[in-house]
Amino acid sequence: MHYIRRPSWHLSESAATPESVFMNRRAFLAGAVGAAALAAAPGAAEARPAEIPWTPEAPRNPAYADAGRPVTRERVNAAYNNFYEFGSHKKIASAAQALKSDPWTVEIDGLCAHPQRIGFEDLVKKMPVEERVYRHRCVEAWSMVVPWIGFPLAELVKLAEPTSDAKFVRFETAADRDAMPGLRQRWYPWPYTEGVTIEEAMNPLPFMVTGAYGKTLHKQFGAPMRLHLPWKFGFKSLKSITRISFTADRPVGFWEELQASEYGFWANVNPEVPHPRWSQARERVLGTDEKIPTQLFNGYGEEVAHLYKGKEDLGRALWM
């Protein structure tokens, strides 16, 4: 079998839908109708409005109110997504509307005092929901700024109460063969999984995202709940999470399993450590013509650099 090791992250920008196509579309309305319209590919029939089971009301956390750059326009973000379950290209928004995100259950298991199967809405009710504006840097050298709504991963960890044997948190994405055509690509190690250390999970930055742009999460963003780790490359921030497990052993992520030398476990953003096939020194700001210098830890070093003290011997692996 010809084993496709290269994710199509190296697709050129010209392969993405020109923004002007979307700018001309009529229906950039607020709310669900707008969201569904945004999701439709140009020329495709308008998608039906998504059902919105829960309306986020979230105060903006002043500590994360300003990402130092303008927020990426919603229509740009909503039309340029990586979600391989729906296709190995950026225009998956329309296909992603097949995701059945309501009802949704999350399994919390492994080495913890309170393993449980919990409905998404019941989980959210227990959590301090807020808005945070975060920078988002893909390993493919593009970036955006997103006003996420959600709650700190640390709060979910506290709810589960991991035992002292738990050293890592492993996350798993839904794998619905009927809704997700990408799952037919059998050379990928589905389901999409990722992991962090317990120390990383307890840091204040990791965010369980349940909304964006003042709305429930668009399906193409990973409805109803995805992770965002703003100091790591975007592939660590998995979407549509169904399972969260506390483990003693280090989990191996989806891309690490495919190509460990290119997509490692740590994947901290560092402009000085190139990907084996391209530089990470600069990033293309989506929705603009700008290319700007990439920052160490994507600019979040003050919050997270201490997590990696004493791990310097990991060398390149710490960064990629």
Q: Which residues contact 224 (CB under 8 A, 6 or more apart)?
A: 101, 102, 104, 120, 210, 216, 217, 240
298 belongs to the binding site for ligand MTE (CB under 6 A): no
207 belongs to the binding site for ligand MTE (CB under 6 A): no
Residue pair 173/238 in contact (Cβ under 8 Å)? The answer is yes
**112/146 with CB nearer ligand MTE:** 146
| Residue selected from 40, 73, 76, 85 as contacting ligand MTE according to rule CB under 6 A | 85
Query: Under rule CB under 6 A, how many of the chain's residues touch ligand MTE?
Result: 15
- Smallest gap from Cβ 64 to ligand MTE, in A, equals 17
Residue pair 208/112 in contact (Cβ under 8 Å)? The answer is no
- Smallest gap from Cβ 234 to ligand MTE, in A, equals 3
Stretch that binds ligand MTE, among 19-27, 38-46, 81-89, 302-310 (CB under 6 A): 81-89
**Which string of DSSP letters, residue by residue, matches 92-111?**
-HHHHTT---SS-EEEEEES
Element (H, E) at 153: helix 153-160
Residue that is written with structure tokens 């560092």 in the block: 270
192 belongs to the binding site for ligand MTE (CB under 6 A): yes
Stretch that binds ligand MTE, among 49-57, 233-241, 277-285, 311-319 (CB under 6 A): 233-241
**162/220 with CB nearer ligand MTE:** 220
CA atoms within 13 A on the CB side of 210: 25
- Smallest gap from Cβ 218 to ligand MTE, in A, equals 9
Residue pair 96/81 in contact (Cβ under 8 Å)? The answer is yes
268 belongs to the binding site for ligand MTE (CB under 6 A): no
- b/e burial code for range 243-271 (CB count within 10 A of at least 16 → b): bbbbbeeebebbbbebeeebbbbbbbbbb
| Residue selected from 22, 120, 134, 235 as contacting ligand MTE according to rule CB under 6 A | 235
The SS3 of residue 5 is coil
- Smallest gap from Cβ 90 to ligand MTE, in A, equals 8
280 belongs to the binding site for ligand MTE (CB under 6 A): no
**120/221 with CB nearer ligand MTE:** 221
91 belongs to the binding site for ligand MTE (CB under 6 A): no
- Nearest residue to ligand MTE by CB is 234
The DSSP secondary-structure symbol of 312 reads G
Q: Which is it for strands 130-137 and 142-152: parallel, antiparallel or unpaired?
A: antiparallel
* Binding stretches for ligand MTE (CB under 6 A): 81-85, 138, 173, 192, 221, 234-235, 237-240
